[in-house]
Chain A
């Protein structure tokens, strides 16, 4: 064992850093592990904002926020988790402000709030269109202030499970090479999403579902894994995110005929309908021949240069750089792309998983604040509120337990597995498997899902997993060998893909992001208002169900 800590946080984006700060302030010896430097985390790419019922732009309250979120979740969200989120959000946002977060302001100096999709009030606090960026930096500032130990460029690979507890993490040291074991009384997973399962994704190369897969491998269930959100406005062709803030500011979505087609899908909310609704509308337009080379258009021109430069400066920069389009003069070509995993490691309201000593927060977790469809602006809020709660709970647990033990065999098993991968000389390199996985997931497990395509995808993933067992890596060196870490990431992704397909096939209804218009076009509350729960058994996913926790909102028909 290289070192040990009370609380070890894996992943240093918004959720991870917020958890570490809270655990530190609770008196625990805390450390962060991250495969990239904390400020490189993909939380920083969040653009539009963070939802809290501050009431700065209208008469708002946490109950309205909670109802919008429950409805947005297509009644799959756990309502107690949603109430906690919405009640605690304002305090958490004020705290970020006092830490120095550079929020955009109202003329009278309060935190500005803008309208966002499926929100009844203008509730999204923001910093122009770089909200995630300013949050990551303010959190890292607080990490530096506390001098919290950070294992930078450590790739977490396996959880240490011993004596029915999670007691540490085995990592590959990217800068120096070699496996390093960090012991811990509690481990908090905060590794983010797995968008790299898809070709068209807003997600960074780092978003490979590491934490979800590590939890799965120690027997912790993953919840609602079929629920992958497709964001309606990803830039064509690269998949880079164009913020929902554009539509919050008043942008239009147009088809090839120049028609605001949402009139036919969401006549009341129009461009501010829920993300699943808009992605389906766009995909339908494109499938029925009213797209432009597989895209629709996001038109900002009527907002005027001044507002675009002030509130959507980053969007303009992205659009000019990656699509050669200046949104002041031309509409932006966009399409739906994989964006956010509502599913993840099953946790309770304090981030605790079914394994003692293991916690999870942020996108890699599923406390189920988002159910079948997340509202824009709720992800950043979840990272902060549930990151804080996980940090507090993990610290409390750690401070009441004393021992950390890592069995020799766990370390030697890992050493052996890695030696097998590095020692293999003949065979296929991982990239073709990665590309085939991402391409087929897009085709067979995308915005619309068909039974036979999902079944085919299950077989494809099975075949890819067999090929993966025999992959070779070119780089055998010790220093900055990301050839080996990228191979390990692919292993994580393939297992998650298998879980998603199993859960998707089992959910024989259309709810939120899981849309089956050809065989089960409507929501079936009687049979399926419940969570899918996938565990890993004997090398394959095993499906189970768990009830949705309802507090006060009975399911209604969902219209925008």
Chain B
């Protein structure tokens, strides 16, 4: 098949940046990476991009196709060619471009290192045999263990766009890989560190990381699990944690979210008062329900029953976080029959 691509080239030595169009003949089974190889071989040997395994496990070939982060080895070209589309290929976002499609991953790795990403088993001398851990106890970190550190999530992260210091989805998913590991004895210290400025509560929950992760790691879920674990361990100094806690408290007591109380409980009374102008303006536009009489759900029976059901399952902390919709979407894609089968095996 004839494949056409537009590639954002960048030559660091001349500083020149331009969008160039390439056309090559490729086999029908070709992926984006195969097409880039054909361009490099047969058209222009100066094209730079990273690659290695070409089987979605090494994480080298993260880049953007039409503005979305992808692994070049995972993207099949035939459907794109069939609909007559000419995709635009560019380097990943949120990382400095070194040349063409190659970005500087240095800051990415520094953030991974800042997580202290190694097991702290709490002993120096290893026992003679393996630690005994049930399969169920290892289950919570299975998705995080899939991470190949390709950087696709970081490329798309909205919080990092406004705060480059934000730890970011990849590092935090790595963090949860240890917090959720029953063998790790440093989970409280880890949670303390991840609750710092630029930490878990700075995530804006845009879910782009879940959406674009090529491996189904669902980093946003990992961040949510870190949040839940923090609250469970009483680490709630951040506004984000306070906000989440009050949300739960509000629903628990009156079966409804009492938004007017939410602001002072999250920010503290003093800071909330400073925002009085905004509050008045919001109220004028009907954006704030009046605080009195308190908002109470009419029929709380069902909500309470649901809560009791959940607490009976002991799903506090990370165990209470529902896994991302992405896994479900995969199942739907695979057919109704399998969806049913998957329901059976999921708790």
CB-CB contacts of B90-122 with A at 8 A, as 1s and 0s?
000000001110100100010011000111010
Which residues of chain B are within 8 angstroms of A133 by Cβ–Cβ distance? 57, 146, 148
Which residues of chain A are within 8 angstroms of B74 by Cβ–Cβ distance? 321
- Is there an interface contact between A102 and B42, defined as CB atoms closer than 8 Å? no
Decide yes or no: A206 and B52 within 8 Å by CB, A45-B58, A110-B130, A431-B41 being known contacts: yes
- Is there an interface contact between B60 and A94, defined as CB atoms closer than 8 Å? no
CB-CB contacts of B8-51 with A at 8 A, as 1s and 0s?
00011100000000000001010000000000111011101011
264-322 of chain A: CB within 8 A of chain B:
305-306, 309-310, 314, 317-318, 321-322
Q: How far is the CB of A173 from chain B (nearest CB, A)?
A: 13
Decide yes or no: A40 and B138 within 8 Å by CB, A206-B52, A238-B29 being known contacts: no
- Is there an interface contact between B345 and A309, defined as CB atoms closer than 8 Å? yes
Q: Please report the C-alpha to C-alpha distance between residue A105 and residue B138 in the assembled complex, in whole angstroms.
A: 9
Say yes or no: is A410 at the interface (Cβ < 8 Å to chain B): no
148-182 of chain B: CB within 8 A of chain A:
148-149, 178, 181
- Is there an interface contact between A40 and B59, defined as CB atoms closer than 8 Å? yes
Which residues of chain B are within 8 angstroms of A206 by Cβ–Cβ distance? 52-53
Q: Please report the C-alpha to C-alpha distance between residue A201 and residue B181 in the assembled complex, in whole angstroms.
A: 36
- Is there an interface contact between A480 and B121, defined as CB atoms closer than 8 Å? no
Residue of B nearest to A138 (CB): B119
Decide yes or no: A99 and B119 within 8 Å by CB, A206-B52, A474-B44 being known contacts: yes
Q: Please report the C-alpha to C-alpha distance between residue A106 and residue B136 in the assembled complex, in whole angstroms.
A: 10
Which residues of chain A are within 8 angstroms of B335 by Cβ–Cβ distance? 329
Say yes or no: is B338 at the interface (Cβ < 8 Å to chain A): yes
- Is there an interface contact between B54 and A204, defined as CB atoms closer than 8 Å? yes
- Is there an interface contact between A478 and B145, defined as CB atoms closer than 8 Å? no
Q: Please report the C-alpha to C-alpha distance between residue A329 and residue B336 in the assembled complex, in whole angstroms.
A: 13
Q: Please report the C-alpha to C-alpha distance between residue A431 and residue B149 in the assembled complex, in whole angstroms.
A: 30
Q: Please report the C-alpha to C-alpha distance between residue A150 and residue B142 in the assembled complex, in whole angstroms.
A: 28
Q: Which of A36, A241, A482 contacts B55 (CB 8 A)?
A: A241
Say yes or no: is B342 at the interface (Cβ < 8 Å to chain A): yes
Say yes or no: is B234 at the interface (Cβ < 8 Å to chain A): no
Q: Which of B112, B134, B146 contacts A107 (CB 8 A)?
A: B134
- Is there an interface contact between B53 and A141, defined as CB atoms closer than 8 Å? no
Say yes or no: is B128 at the interface (Cβ < 8 Å to chain A): yes
Residue of B nearest to A107 (CB): B135
Q: How far is the CB of B11 from chain A (nearest CB, A)?
A: 7
Which residues of chain B are within 8 angstroms of A44 by Cβ–Cβ distance? 53, 57-58, 148
- Is there an interface contact between A309 and B13, defined as CB atoms closer than 8 Å? no
Which residues of chain A are within 8 angstroms of B76 by Cβ–Cβ distance? 321
Q: How far is the CB of A380 from chain B (nearest CB, A)?
A: 14
- Is there an interface contact between B119 and A45, defined as CB atoms closer than 8 Å? no
Decide yes or no: A240 and B29 within 8 Å by CB, A142-B118, A321-B74 being known contacts: no
Which residues of chain B are within 8 angstroms of A142 by Cβ–Cβ distance? 118
Q: Which of A93, A98, A110, A204 contacts B52 (CB 8 A)?
A: A204
Say yes or no: is A145 at the interface (Cβ < 8 Å to chain B): yes
- Is there an interface contact between B118 and A482, defined as CB atoms closer than 8 Å? no
Which residues of chain B are within 8 angstroms of A241 by Cβ–Cβ distance? 55
CB-CB contacts of A87-113 with B at 8 A, as 1s and 0s?
000000111011110111111111100
Q: Please report the C-alpha to C-alpha distance between residue A196 and residue B149 in the assembled complex, in whole angstroms.
A: 24
Q: How far is the CB of A262 from chain B (nearest CB, A)?
A: 26
Say yes or no: is A475 at the interface (Cβ < 8 Å to chain B): yes
Which residues of chain A are within 8 angstroms of B54 by Cβ–Cβ distance? 204-205, 238, 240
Q: Please report the C-alpha to C-alpha distance between residue A39 and residue B51 in the assembled complex, in whole angstroms.
A: 13
- Is there an interface contact between A144 and B13, defined as CB atoms closer than 8 Å? no
Q: Which of B52, B132, B334, B344 contacts A326 (CB 8 A)?
A: B334
31-65 of chain A: CB within 8 A of chain B:
36-37, 39-42, 44-45, 54
Q: Please report the C-alpha to C-alpha distance between residue A107 and residue B183 in the assembled complex, in whole angstroms.
A: 17
Which residues of chain B are within 8 angstroms of A110 by Cβ–Cβ distance? 129-130, 132
Residue of A nearest to B59 (CB): A40
Say yes or no: is B86 at the interface (Cβ < 8 Å to chain A): no
Q: Which of B27, B132, B181 has the most CB of A within 10 A?
A: B132
- Is there an interface contact between A431 and B126, defined as CB atoms closer than 8 Å? no
Which residues of chain B are within 8 angstroms of A37 by Cβ–Cβ distance? 60, 105, 109
Residue of B nearest to A328 (CB): B338
Decide yes or no: A98 and B131 within 8 Å by CB, A39-B149, A309-B342, A429-B45 being known contacts: yes
Which range contains the number of B residues in contact with the other chain?
Answer: 35 or more
Say yes or no: is B133 at the interface (Cβ < 8 Å to chain A): yes
Which residues of chain B are within 8 angstroms of A481 by Cβ–Cβ distance? 48
Say yes or no: is B141 at the interface (Cβ < 8 Å to chain A): yes
440-474 of chain A: CB within 8 A of chain B:
473-474
Which residues of chain A are within 8 angstroms of B137 by Cβ–Cβ distance? 109
Say yes or no: is B303 at the interface (Cβ < 8 Å to chain A): no
Q: How far is the CB of A413 from chain B (nearest CB, A)?
A: 25
Residue of A nearest to B55 (CB): A240
Q: Please report the C-alpha to C-alpha distance between residue A318 and residue B53 in the assembled complex, in whole angstroms.
A: 12
Say yes or no: is A237 at the interface (Cβ < 8 Å to chain B): yes
Q: How far is the CB of B160 from chain A (nearest CB, A)?
A: 20
Q: Which of B48, B52, B117, B137 has the most CB of A within 10 A?
A: B52
Say yes or no: is B56 at the interface (Cβ < 8 Å to chain A): yes
Which residues of chain A are within 8 angstroms of B128 by Cβ–Cβ distance? 94
Say yes or no: is A222 at the interface (Cβ < 8 Å to chain B): no
Which residues of chain A are within 8 angstroms of B83 by Cβ–Cβ distance? none
- Is there an interface contact between A205 and B119, defined as CB atoms closer than 8 Å? no
- Is there an interface contact between A102 and B141, defined as CB atoms closer than 8 Å? yes
Q: Which of A100, A104, A111 contacts B119 (CB 8 A)?
A: A100
- Is there an interface contact between A480 and B130, defined as CB atoms closer than 8 Å? no
Decide yes or no: A42 and B98 within 8 Å by CB, A134-B145, A321-B74 being known contacts: no
Say yes or no: is A348 at the interface (Cβ < 8 Å to chain B): no
- Is there an interface contact between B29 and A94, defined as CB atoms closer than 8 Å? no
Q: Please report the C-alpha to C-alpha distance between residue A238 and residue B33 in the assembled complex, in whole angstroms.
A: 12
- Is there an interface contact between A40 and B119, defined as CB atoms closer than 8 Å? no
Say yes or no: is A130 at the interface (Cβ < 8 Å to chain B): yes
Q: How far is the CB of A546 from chain B (nearest CB, A)?
A: 34
Q: Please report the C-alpha to C-alpha distance between residue A482 and residue B98 in the assembled complex, in whole angstroms.
A: 13
Say yes or no: is A436 at the interface (Cβ < 8 Å to chain B): no
- Is there an interface contact between B334 and A317, defined as CB atoms closer than 8 Å? no
- Is there an interface contact between A109 and B44, defined as CB atoms closer than 8 Å? no
Q: Please report the C-alpha to C-alpha distance between residue A103 and residue B55 in the assembled complex, in whole angstroms.
A: 22
Q: How far is the CB of B46 from chain A (nearest CB, A)?
A: 4
Q: Please report the C-alpha to C-alpha distance between residue A134 and residue B50 in the assembled complex, in whole angstroms.
A: 22
- Is there an interface contact between B46 and A94, defined as CB atoms closer than 8 Å? no
- Is there an interface contact between B117 and A141, defined as CB atoms closer than 8 Å? yes
- Is there an interface contact between A479 and B149, defined as CB atoms closer than 8 Å? no
Q: Which of B45, B109, B142 has the most CB of A within 10 A?
A: B45
- Is there an interface contact between A478 and B13, defined as CB atoms closer than 8 Å? yes
Q: Which of A310, A326, A482 has the most CB of B within 10 A?
A: A482
- Is there an interface contact between A39 and B98, defined as CB atoms closer than 8 Å? no
Give chain B's interface residues, CB within 8 Å of chain A: 11-13, 27, 29, 40-42, 44-46, 48, 50-60, 74, 76, 98-100, 102, 105, 109, 112-113, 117-119, 121, 126-135, 137-138, 141-142, 145-146, 148-149, 178, 181, 183-184, 334-335, 338, 341-342, 344-345
Interface contacts beyond A95-B126, A110-B132, A134-B145: sample of 9 additional A-B pairs, CB < 8 Å, sorted by A: A45-B57, A98-B121, A98-B131, A133-B57, A204-B54, A205-B53, A322-B29, A322-B55, A473-B45
* 15 cross-chain CB contacts under 8 A: A39-B149, A40-B59, A98-B119, A98-B121, A100-B183, A102-B142, A108-B132, A109-B131, A110-B130, A241-B55, A314-B57, A318-B56, A322-B55, A477-B13, A480-B48
4 nearest CB pairs, A to B: A474-B45, A100-B119, A109-B132, A431-B41
